[in-house]
Structure 1
Amino acid sequence: MSMKPIDFDRRYGELDQVVSAYLGQPADDEQDRPSRALQAYLRHTWHTRPWALPVAEQQLRAYAHNPPGRLRQRLGEFYPVPDIGLPESEIQGWLLLLADHIKQSVENGEVPRPSPLPDTHWEWHARFPELGQFLGGWFSQDMPDEFTDHEAAVRDFADSTDRTLVARLVGEIRELLALGLEEADHALAVAELGMELEPPGDHSAGSWLSTVADELSGFGAEYA
Structure 2
Amino acid sequence: MSMKPLEFDRRYGELDQVISAYCGMPADDEPDAPSEALQAYLRYTWHTRPWALATAEQQIREYARNPPGRLRLNLGEFYPIPDVGLPESAIQGWLFVIADHLKRSIEQGEVPLASTPRTHWEWHARFPELGQFLGGWFSQDMPDEFPDHDAAVNDYVVTSAPQLVARLTGELHELLALTLEESEYALALAELGMEVDPPQPYFPSGWLTHLTDGLGGFKADYGPGPASG
Length-normalised TM-score, structure 1: 0.95
Aligned ranges for residues 47-196 of structure 1 at < 5 Å? 47-115=47-115, 117-196=116-195
CA shift for structure 1 position 80: 1.5
What whole-Å deviation, never above 9, does each CA across 1:30-60 have from its counterpart, x for those lacking one? 1111111111110110000100000000110
CA shift for structure 1 position 169: 0.6
Instruction: State the distance in 2 between where 1:22 and 1:135 align.
Output: 22
Amino acid corresponding to residue 19 of structure 2 in structure 1 = V
Instruction: State the distance in 2 between where 1:175 and 1:209 align.
Output: 11
SS of the residue aligned with 2:217?
Answer: helix
Amino acid corresponding to residue 95 of structure 2 in structure 1 = L
Q: Corresponding residue for 1:14?
A: 14
Instruction: State the distance in 2 between where 1:199 and 1:20 align.
Output: 30
Q: Number of paired residues?
A: 222
What whole-Å deviation, never above 9, does each CA across 1:145-191 have from its counterpart, x for those lacking one? 22111111101110111111111110010111111111111101000
What whole-Å deviation, never above 9, does each CA across 1:71-112 have from its counterpart, x for those lacking one? 422322221111111100000010011000000000000101
Instruction: State the distance in 2 between where 1:30 and 1:101 align.
Output: 9
Amino acid corresponding to residue 36 of structure 2 in structure 1 = R
Structure 2 alignment gaps of length 5 or more: 223-229
Amino acid corresponding to residue 139 of structure 2 in structure 1 = S
Instruction: State the distance in 2 between where 1:135 and 1:211 align.
Output: 15
Shifted more, 1-10 versus 137-146: the winner is: 1-10
Length-normalised TM-score, structure 2: 0.93
1:2 and 2:2 equivalent? Answer: yes
Name the structure with the higher helix share: 1
CA shift for structure 1 position 11: 1.1
SS of the residue aligned with 1:27?
Answer: coil
CA shift for structure 1 position 223: 3.2
Instruction: State the distance in 2 between where 1:126 and 1:64 align.
Output: 25
Q: Percent identity?
A: 69
Q: Which has the larger radius of gyration?
A: 2
Alignment root-mean-square deviation, CA: 1.3
Instruction: State the distance in 2 between where 1:106 and 1:74 align.
Output: 34
CA shift for structure 1 position 122: 0.8
Amino acid corresponding to residue 32 of structure 2 in structure 1 = D
Instruction: State the distance in 2 between where 1:73 and 1:120 align.
Output: 29
Instruction: State the distance in 1 between where 2:113 and 2:125 align.
Output: 16
